[in-house]
Amino acid sequence: MNKRIIFVAAGMVLCSLWGCLLDAGENGNDAQIVGKDSDEDCDEKGCTSGKDKSTTSAKVDDEIHYDCSEYDCVTTKYLNKKMLSAGKYGEFLDTRDNQVYRTVTIGTQTWFAQNLNYNAKSSQCHGEVDANCAEYGRLYYWSSISGSDQPNQGVLQGSCPDGWHVPSDEEFLVLLEYVGGNRTDDIQLELSDWPTYYSYENSATALKSMVYDWEVAGSGDEYGFSSIPSGDRWDYGKYSNLGEQALYWTTTISDVQWGPRALTRRIGNTDNYVNAHWDLLDYMYAIRCLKNKTSSIPASSSSTTQPSLNSEHYDCSVYNCRPTEHLNQDMLAEGKYGELLDTRDNQVYRTTKICNQVWMAQNLNYKPSSGTTYCYDDISSYCTKYGRLYVRAAVSCPAGWHLPNDSEWQQLFKCVGGQSTAADALRASSGWDAHPELNSADKYGFSSLPAGVYYFGDEGNTGWYLSDTDYNDFAVGTGAESAKSTAADYTAISVRCVQD
């Protein structure tokens, strides 16, 4: 079976006999918010402290903060600026894509304070415009919640990260009643088989972002829910209501006479109701994730389960240290690389932490007792410079490390600025002798070298890397993009192991 390769290469498309290149603790902080905000004065530039009117002070359970220069922080422009300045929001890292969300505890529930923006298969940016995802989060089909186009009621994680789920309408009602909404009874279309649902008057005043220019503004977003009108997509493909309505999925469904529908919650631009509607499952709406009430992972565990660099240093007169001449020399001098001893052969590798992942900063060079591995062109000095080349079946990372899957490569690319420019970010600052103009700053210390492919060539032009996912290997070459390719099982390429 073919595998996909990761490579850094010199050109837009590379083809040969072996194929063609085609063009992050789970839980963060949870802020306990009770009562009102302080009377700080805030504008778009920030806030100034004032006297706190809260009857009970806000509480942040954990002091975990993520550096937005390393992680992909979801925009905070529509959050409650007073709470943001006072540190009353928690933070949550979605390790699937390194996006960081703010969280807020309202009563007994902990919510995302921003719309989910995970790029699930059944999701889209409003109007298919990427900037709308950055501003409003993504829109999702029902299938991204239930795993199918059919009704599936219960506690559903959907596209939310581990430890979180898509709320039921009953859970939404807990929120609406806590913030002071007054229930009104409505019956949809006066059809006997449609269940009665409840809208809530005045609850929208407490949930609307006070930064967004709603036509009928809220009362100050005192709980930090910060709802914004992210719009929807109708069943026949029309995008609608951007800037007019916030529409959220719930997992409450009913199989009524016109087919299965899910109950959705809507916050409108022209009133202060949170309305309920039974909507078709092939509409697209936003998702606000709700934290699971029971979890085997304590809230502070993200600070202890994150991979970390080994601070131990190994004497190269005793151990077989891999060459460091092509690593980031500034990072090397400042001690910013970790060290990994492979006890199977006493080779020592440097390691680098990039966002929430720790990678080997040099290609694997272990020679297993069985399995097909090579030095490029069968010359041992190439193994010294580049490490060994492996067919998929022969890969064996050190204990505590593994061959990365496609998702882990994608996390890396996202962290360094996206796959379209990842090759420039990952290429070593020296060692590209055939293309010296392409030696990069190597700011992350990944230090990719053009080790080529056995036995078809490309040494000096491309660094190819195996993934454990079929058809998802990659390459770093002379172009800016880190491209994907397929490779036959007998093709041997480089390996970068990632820490468990």
- What digits encode the pLDDT tens for the residues 338-371? 999 999 999 999 999 998 889 999 999 999 988 8
The verdict on 243 and 391 lying in the same domain is no
Lowest mean pLDDT among 331-335, 395-399, 419-423: 419-423
pLDDT computed for residue 468 by the predictor:
83
Among 305, 330, 352, identify where a domain stops: 305
Range of the domain at 72: 26-305
Note whether residue 310 is domain-resident: no
Note whether residue 94 is domain-resident: yes
Higher pLDDT residue, 324 or 143?
324
Lowest mean pLDDT among 188-192, 333-337, 476-480: 188-192
The verdict on 229 and 181 lying in the same domain is yes
The verdict on 57 and 196 lying in the same domain is yes
The verdict on 188 and 334 lying in the same domain is no
Lowest mean pLDDT among 149-163, 171-185, 329-343, 405-419: 149-163
The verdict on 396 and 289 lying in the same domain is no
Note whether residue 410 is domain-resident: yes
pLDDT computed for residue 177 by the predictor:
86
Q: 262 and 253 in contact (C-beta within 8 Å)?
A: yes
CA distance 237 to 283: 9
pLDDT computed for residue 305 by the predictor:
40
Note whether residue 8 is domain-resident: no
First to last CA, the chain: 26
- Does 34 have pLDDT greater than 90? no
Note whether residue 314 is domain-resident: no
Higher pLDDT residue, 337 or 191?
337
pLDDT computed for residue 287 by the predictor:
97
Nearest to 149 by CA among 290, 240, 253: 253
- Does 129 have pLDDT greater than 50? yes
The verdict on 396 and 463 lying in the same domain is yes
Note whether residue 436 is domain-resident: yes
pLDDT computed for residue 132 by the predictor:
97
pLDDT computed for residue 112 by the predictor:
97
The verdict on 147 and 277 lying in the same domain is yes
- Does 57 have pLDDT greater than 80? no
Tell me the DSSP string of 166-191.
BPPHHHHHHHHHHTT-EEEEE-GGG-
Domain count, the chain: 2
Nearest to 80 by CA among 239, 202, 211, 185: 211
Tell me the per-residue pLDDT of 441-498, one tens digit each, with 9 for 90 and over.
898 999 999 998 887 788 888 888 888 866 567 777 767 656 655 556 678 889 999 9
The verdict on 121 and 158 lying in the same domain is yes
Higher pLDDT residue, 31 or 101?
101
pTM score > 0.85 for this model? no
The verdict on 357 and 422 lying in the same domain is yes
Lowest mean pLDDT among 34-38, 210-214, 321-325, 494-498: 34-38
Span 282-290, mean pLDDT?
95
Place of tokens 């550096």: 67
Among 251, 275, 305, identify where a domain stops: 305
pLDDT averaged over every residue in the chain: 78
CA distance 160 to 138: 12
The verdict on 386 and 488 lying in the same domain is yes
Among 237, 271, 305, identify where a domain stops: 305
- 187 band by pLDDT with thresholds 50, 70 and 90: very low
Note whether residue 120 is domain-resident: yes
Note whether residue 5 is domain-resident: no
The verdict on 255 and 328 lying in the same domain is no
The verdict on 492 and 361 lying in the same domain is yes
Higher pLDDT residue, 246 or 186?
246
- Does 302 have pLDDT greater than 90? no
Tell me the per-residue pLDDT of 206-219, one tens digit each, with 9 for 90 and over.
899 999 988 887 76
Give the CB-side neighbour count of residue 469, counting CA atoms within 13 A. 13
